[in-house]
Amino acid sequence: MDLGSKAEADLYNQEFQVRNAELLVVRSGNRLKNDKALLAQTLMIDPIVSFDLEEINWGVATQLDAITLENLNTVAIENRADLKQVANQERAAQLGYFARRGTYFPNLTAFAGLNSQYNYIHGMSNRSFEQQFRSDNRRINYGLSLSIPIYGALPAGHR
């Protein structure tokens, strides 16, 4: 044996440690991907969009002095998507109520229309375009329509 040589078992131990370290690198990479996906889901970011994480360089002690409980509550309430959704649903229900309530009131509609036609018959003596379009085949209609809902707006069970 040469001086300074190591036993074969030590070589196997070192190879094992290298392989184990490589496995830890792969596991850490997978865990990072899973944690980023969970973070994107928590922040309601599209998981397909890639983003990078950065180290935080600000001192927590200096930031905590400027933060109050009221500010935290205000920011939290403003940024909650579920509360925004409920507020939008409430507004939609309110507008639906106003629209439905409008069916109980009379409805007055004014209308007007101007129509004209031109026809040409082959082999016949036809009037000119000017005569047909401006005077002969012109139709004018106008009017008012009043609708008073007496029974129409009530549900079937209340008639």
CB atoms within 10 A of CB 133: 14
Q: What is the pLDDT of residues 101-130, one digit of tens each?
A: 888 888 899 999 988 777 777 777 777 777
Phi, psi of 67 (to 5 degrees): -95, 130
**CA triple 60-64-58, angle to 5 deg:** 30
Give the Cβ contact number of residue 61 at 10 Å.
7
Residue 39 scores a pLDDT above 80: yes
Kindly give, in sequence order, each residue whose CB lies less than 8 Å from that of residue 119, ignoring residues fewer than 6 positions away.
Answer: 126, 132, 137
Q: Are strands 138-147 and 107-116 parallel, antiparallel or unpaired?
A: antiparallel
pLDDT-wise least confident of 9-18, 55-64, 80-89? 55-64
